[in-house]
Amino acid sequence: MTTIILNHQPYDGTDITWNALRLAKTLFKSGEKVNLFLMNDAVDLARDKTTKPDSYDYDLVEMLKKMYANGVSLQVCGTCNARCGIFKNEPYFDEKVTSTMQVLADWVIESDKVISF
């Protein structure tokens, strides 16, 4: 099992989030169980209000939603909802992904690999 922790604003002018999602998708397609935990400004990735800027080739929110629908485990920091991102206090696209530090701690303990972006 691999846990990937994302911290960066999805559309920050870099490919950090895109590359994290690409890695998660590739690992999952290779048969690895993948957990994605979003915290800090990465929580905007789980908000429908976050839209792809014209300067980006890929819709990262849609990419995440497809991975989640296909079975990648997703949890998003509940505390960060009110504290982080451009869209503070906006709901996540699925209320079931709202999570806690305890869930992240459990994932880290259970995982063979933990990667942070």
Backbone angles phi, psi at 55, to 5 degrees: -75, -10
pLDDT in tens, 87-113: 999 999 999 999 999 999 999 999 999
pLDDT band for position 50 (cuts 50, 70, 90): very high
What per-residue confidence (pLDDT) applies to 1?
98
Least confident of 31-35, 69-73, 81-85: 81-85
pLDDT in tens, 10-37: 999 999 999 999 999 999 999 999 999 9
Structural domain boundaries in the chain: 2-116
Q: How far apart are CA 25 and CA 20, in angstroms?
A: 9
CA distances from 23 to 37, 96, 108 (A): 14, 23, 18
Domain 2-116: CATH superfamily is DsrEFH-like (3.40.1260.10)
